[in-house]
Structure 1
Amino acid sequence: MTGRPALAGPMTLAGLGWSDFFEDQVEPREADLVRARIATIHRTRLTAISETGPLGLTLPVHARTRDFAVGDWVLAEPDTQLMRRRLARRTVLERRGEGSKIPQLAAANVDTLFIVTSCNADFNIGRLERYLALANESGAVPVMLLTKADAVDDAATFQEQAAALQRGLPVIVLNPRSPEAATALAPWCGAGQTVALVGSSGVGKSTLVNTLAGPAQELPQETGDIREHDSKGRHTTTSRSLHAIAGGGWVIDTPGMRTLQVGDAAFGIETLFAEITELAPQCKFRDCTHAHEPGCAVQAAVDNGTLDPARLSRWRKLLEENRENSPDTSGPRGSSPAPGRFKRR
């Protein structure tokens, strides 16, 4: 999106996603500053939305646009629109490209993360697990969306495989172009709620954004089709943007990404592989690697058929990847930091 989000009538802070979490951060001396939410990020400038409508923010000296995310809440001078500071995030989505240890901010203060994939060759268990780990670590609630179901005879199989990736994971089959898609996603798109979409290029994210935003948006997202020979799409979204959802809520679209590296996501992985996490304390040895030790509860689950060995293998791979991509936060002489000391928000 290169223009401003369409706003249907006057906005309230609550309607924009403001809550006590942010209000408690505002100091008395900042009472007259404008509360605004970042809507678009360009190379050298930011745009935001406040109660009075869209505004262009002026960055303070030495501030960098890359340090901000769409969805961030900031305080700004009412006359000059000079941004004074960013408020702490309630949730934050970060992702790493292949071979990169530096996380890229994807979105902030997201309530629900819609992970979009299609019922074809794009449906990749390993990549979907990475997106789920990202969502779990961020604090957002993950929901899996399956598109292109009308192009296959066994859509139910894809739905079953997706639901098995994480306990309690909602899986919705929908047509992004159909108005019924907005109805199916309404439970997560109420007033003041923020959702973000992630997934590969061409799976229907931009189309779904247009469906949720409705015909009133000023500049609809460009859309592109998936190539039939390899089920891959071309990039149609090149930047992140905040869109008003018709009837309430906000949606953030993100550029497609076919490769995704996990880092600094230990909690996200533990939540994703809960069945393994819960078995580990039952092992004979506290430092069990679940590979060859006697009395291993995880290996016993594999042997009796209650744990898929492929699932265990992917867990190992993600753990190793996370270890390689996570910063070393060990203290003096290799001691570990106190729990919660390095909270990622």
Structure 2
Amino acid sequence: MTDTFSLADLGWAPDFLRQLTLDELSALLPCRISAVHRTRIEALGRTGPLNLMLPPALCTADIAVGDWALHDGARLVRLLDRRSTLARRAAGTGADRQLIAANVDTLFIVTSCNADFNPARIERYLALARAAAVAPVVVLTKADIPPDPAAWQDRAAAIDRRVPVMPLDARAPGDRLSDWCRPGQTVALLGSSGVGKTTLANALTGAVQATAAIREDDAKGRHTTTGRHLRRLAQGGWLIDTPGMRELRLSDAGAGIAATFDDLDALAGQCRFADCNHQTEPGCAVQAAIGAGTVDPARLARWQKLRREDRINSETLAEAHARDRAFGKRTRAALRDKSRLRGD
């Protein structure tokens, strides 16, 4: 693989060019972020790989693999606005958002034909993709193992008939995914540990990385992708590989959830009451559809769970701090009142 790239090779588009001023066009160079470290970043430019220092105004949490940026040869100067952003609510109790990848065209949602297969998890990834305006594709690995792989494909397709489902052997995917891997295109791999993401990434890029043994009966194993990297695909596009995710908490994904459950969203608009909870309220169109057998109650429960989660997680960091401050004031006031009542 060559160490030099044209901007078109890297996925450059006219909307990135339009963001540059005349001074920037003459003094700075575009690059694409390929890896993010604690105090520096790796990038790819027309001259090849780059190691760039961060400016004081930026921290690594602000930068995603796949970002486009401007540099002066030694330092990243500024980030360009993204075409798409895949992000999740950071693990823990804070309100921070964690960037997953930027400027992605297609999200490969990787699961496998075994115990890992989980409709709720797939719907969660679909909502994430659609919230970011990224096209989703469900990739079913280990399709060479079960006696009836078509049954697994049918199960995946039933989750959302609009989404392509591609069953394959991750070790030899052939051209099953070629439509999304051409020059100038960027794909991201997301999925839980043990589904074969590293094996698939190796096959798509022609590279070799360490892979851990997986027990096929229960899909248990250890992922060996330890960080996010931008990697060249054998067909000329770009791959952002990510570590296996134990938890994907949605935030600011209301539009993606509505698009993934558009049938339920449409039914909810027909309910008698605008604030219907779709439980026992009279005139509930969703419950009527369940009674008619056209809506699965389990699907309704998954939709409601994602909506609640997104509503809670979508509060901004400032709102979270304001809530915490208000709670602290109420607690201190209650303690003062209690102290006065005791005569302290």
Matched, 1:85 2:73: no
Change (3 A) 1:139 1:206: same
Q: Tell me the equivalent position of 1:342.
A: none
Structure 1 unaligned regions, length at least 5 = 1-6, 332-345
Q: Any idea what SS the aligned residue of 1:38 has?
A: strand
Give the alignment's TM-score, normalised by structure 2: 0.87
Structure with the bigger RCO (C-alpha within 8 Å, sep 6+) is 1
Q: Any idea what SS the aligned residue of 1:26 has?
A: coil
Matched, 1:206 2:198: yes
Q: Any idea what SS the aligned residue of 1:142 has?
A: strand
- Structure 2 letter corresponding to 1:237: T
Q: Greater Rg, structure 1 or structure 2?
A: 2
Counterpart CA distance in 2 for 1:241 and 1:159 is: 29
CA offset digits 1:152-177 (Å, max 9, x no partner): 22322221221122241100001111
CA displacement at 1:261 relative to structure 2: 1.7
Report % sequence identity: 54
| Alignment match of 1:113 (pick from 86, 107, 110) | 107
1:265-284 mapped onto 2 (5 Å cutoff): 265-284=253-272
User: Aligned-residue CA RMSD in angstroms?
Assistant: 1.9
Q: Which structure has more helix as a fraction of its residues?
A: 2
| Alignment match of 1:194 (pick from 168, 186, 191) | 186
CA displacement at 1:221 relative to structure 2: 2.5
CA displacement at 1:97 relative to structure 2: 5.3
Mapped contact 2:212–2:224 kept (Cα < 8 A): yes
Q: Tell me the equivalent position of 2:322.
A: none
Q: Any idea what SS the aligned residue of 2:221 has?
A: coil
| Alignment match of 2:297 (pick from 294, 305, 309) | 309
Change (3 A) 1:297 1:330: farther
Change (3 A) 1:329 1:241: closer
Mapped contact 1:198–1:254 kept (Cα < 8 A): yes
Q: Any idea what SS the aligned residue of 2:272 has?
A: coil
- Structure 1 letter corresponding to 2:34: A
Q: Tell me the equivalent position of 2:47.
A: 52
Matched, 1:159 2:153: yes
Q: Any idea what SS the aligned residue of 2:299 has?
A: helix
- Structure 2 letter corresponding to 1:43: R
Q: Tell me the equivalent position of 2:328.
A: none
Mapped contact 1:113–1:140 kept (Cα < 8 A): yes
Q: Tell me the equivalent position of 1:338.
A: none
- Structure 2 letter corresponding to 1:92: T
Counterpart CA distance in 1 for 2:91 and 2:77 is: 35
1:182-261 mapped onto 2 (5 Å cutoff): 182-214=174-206, 217=207, 220-228=208-216, 230-261=218-249
CA offset digits 1:267-318 (Å, max 9, x no partner): 1100110110111222222222222222221111111111111100111111
Q: Any idea what SS the aligned residue of 1:104 has?
A: strand
| Alignment match of 1:102 (pick from 77, 96, 99) | 96
Give the alignment's TM-score, normalised by structure 1: 0.87
Q: Tell me the equivalent position of 1:63.
A: 58
Mapped contact 1:117–1:199 kept (Cα < 8 A): yes
Change (3 A) 1:75 1:97: closer
CA displacement at 1:10 relative to structure 2: 4.0
Mapped contact 1:200–1:233 kept (Cα < 8 A): no
Q: Tell me the equivalent position of 1:296.
A: 284
Q: Any idea what SS the aligned residue of 1:164 has?
A: helix
Counterpart CA distance in 2 for 1:134 and 1:286 is: 26
- Structure 1 letter corresponding to 2:269: P
Counterpart CA distance in 1 for 2:143 and 2:90 is: 28
Mapped contact 2:39–2:53 kept (Cα < 8 A): no
Mapped contact 2:86–2:102 kept (Cα < 8 A): yes
Q: Tell me the equivalent position of 2:162.
A: 168
CA offset digits 1:65-87 (Å, max 9, x no partner): 12101000000114xx2111000
Mapped contact 1:262–1:321 kept (Cα < 8 A): yes
CA offset digits 1:218-238 (Å, max 9, x no partner): xx3322222346322202011
- Structure 1 letter corresponding to 2:308: E
Mapped contact 2:198–2:223 kept (Cα < 8 A): no
